[in-house]
Amino acid sequence: MKKLSISLFALFASLTTFAQDFQGMAVYESKTSTADFKTRMDGNKDITPEMRKMIEERMKKMFEKTFILNFDKTASIYKEEEKLDAPGQDRGGFRMMSSMMGGGGTYYKNVKEKTFTVDKEFMGKEFLVADSLPKLNWKLENETKKIGDYTCFKATAVKPVDASDMRNYREKKKKEGEEKKPSTNFMDDYEMPKEITITAWYTPEVPINQGPEGYWGLPGLILEVNDGKTVVMCSKLVMNTKDKVEIKAPKNGKQVKQKEYDEIVTKKLEEMREQFQSQGGRGGMQIRMSR
pLDDT tens readout for residues 124-140: 889 999 999 998 999 99
Structural domain includes residue 133: yes
Domain of residue 55 covers 5-171+183-278
Q: How many CB atoms lie within 10 A of CB 155?
A: 22
Structural domain includes residue 284: no
- One-letter amino acid at 268 equals K
Structural domain includes residue 290: no
Share of the chain above pLDDT 70, in %: 61
Structural domain includes residue 49: yes
Question: What gap in Å lies between CA 184 and CA 281, rounded to an integer?
Answer: 5
Structural domain includes residue 134: yes
Instruction: Report the b/e string of 119-141 with b at 16+ CB within 10 A.
Output: bbbbeeeebbbbbebeebebeee
List pLDDT tens digits, range 155-204: 999 998 876 776 766 565 655 555 555 454 555 566 667 888 999 999 99
Greater confidence, 144 or 100? 144
**For residue 108, what are the contacts with CB-CB under 8 A and spacing of at least 6?**
75, 76, 77, 78, 116, 117, 118, 247, 248, 249, 250
158 beta partners: 197
Q: Any idea how long the chain is?
A: 291
Find out whether 265 and 163 touch, Cβ atoms under 8 Å.
yes
Give percent helix, percent strand, percent coil of the chain, each to the nearest 5: 20, 35, 45
Structural domain includes residue 162: yes
Split into its structural domains, the chain has a count of 1
| Selection from 14-23, 90-99, 182-191, 259-268 with the highest mean pLDDT | 259-268
Structural domain includes residue 150: yes
Greater confidence, 52 or 76? 76
Question: What gap in Å lies between CA 102 and CA 15, rounded to an integer?
Answer: 30
Structural domain includes residue 126: yes
Confidence of residue 98 (pLDDT cuts 50, 70, 90): low
Question: Is residue 211 exposed (0-12), middle (13-18) or buried (19+ Cβ within 10 Å)?
Answer: buried
